[in-house]
Amino acid sequence: MSDLNNIVLKILDRGKGILAADESTGTMTKRLDGVNVPSTPENRLLFRETLFSAANMTECIGGVILYDETIKQQTSKKNTIPELISKMGSTPGIKVDTGAKILAGSPNEKITEGLDGLRERLKEYYKLGARFTKWRGVYIIANDYPSKLSIHSNAHALARYSALVQECNMVPIVEPEVLMDGGHSAEECYKKTSEVIKKCFDELILHKVDLKGIILKPNMILAGNKSKDKILNEEVAKLTLKCLKNSVPEEVPGIAFLSGGQSEVEATENLNLINKYNDTGFIMSYSYGRALQQSALKFWSKNIKDIDGTQKIFNHRAKMNTLAAQGKWSKDLEC
């Protein structure tokens, strides 16, 4: 068993998931503006340190994706953020792409950038304590989208990124996100997501990436947020499993879903059903941002010094999702 595979299995051990706390300064500013908290480096650090030191980090969170600002910050006790995360029994990770930009040749679509200088940045992040990384490609569904150009370009970038990350002895999270924005049906989402994921693995294999040493971070199969044809949660789970069984090579050890605009409870319920029906060899867990943090952020914003109260809310959401990653969640636990 490779060292990279061991890292994956440690991160996703016994229902543990990944806390996506890699919001850029711009995104974090929007979140804090939304709850009327000034977006200063101190406040961004305080909120994140509050979550990273919560009790259920140890039981439920196997990995934390950080942003460049955060991985270089010190806690109130003068430890580095990666040291705090490691002390809680979790694994520090880092977002390494530099964002989605307009795709030349298809101006309505995006290509993720950040390959220039990546090898050097990875070496720095490794020294800072990171042991896994994240790169997100985004795709839209519309009449002619995602285009072949978008599917091929983003798959190629994800594969080049992954090869560089493994060269630096870290685990790449491969995140091809088919956005739920739009009026498309779940069937259309299934078709496009399958095409996107298959192309990603074609490129990963071409670039000699060790599939046993990656984590796939896909969207669930959902109808678009403007679609009139909503489907039941059971159908979401079954279509998602069907897509992954047909698109993901068996060597991949773990899949950690993004929440992709779902509510906190909806993301938990769908993950739970996926695990109830899971007849694959894949570990099925979560890599959630807002679906783990939003309620805690709203509570915290009322009194940013109420650390215990904020952690209580975060602990609950982390516990619910870890139960869901084992198929053991039920709605009455949310009370």
CB neighbour list of residue 284: distance below 8 Å, 6 or more residues apart = 254, 255, 257, 271, 274, 275, 278, 325
Which structure tokens are listed for 151?
């599917």
How far apart (Å, rounded) are the C-alpha atoms in residues 64 and 55? 14
Which structure tokens are listed for 324?
């869901």
Q: Answer yes or no: 217 catalytic.
A: yes
Q: What share of the chain is helix, strand, coil (3-state, %, to 5)?
A: 50, 15, 30
How far apart (Å, rounded) are the C-alpha atoms in residues 173 and 19? 13
How far apart (Å, rounded) are the C-alpha atoms in residues 220 and 258? 8
Which structure tokens are listed for 107?
């101006």
**CA-wise closest residue to 94 among 24, 47, 158, 178:** 24
How far apart (Å, rounded) are the C-alpha atoms in residues 30 and 98? 18
Q: Answer yes or no: 334 catalytic.
A: no
Q: Which position among 49, 175, 177, 264 bears the catalytic label?
A: 175
CB of 146 closer than 8 Å to CB of 178: yes
The residues annotated with a catalytic role in the active site are: 175, 217
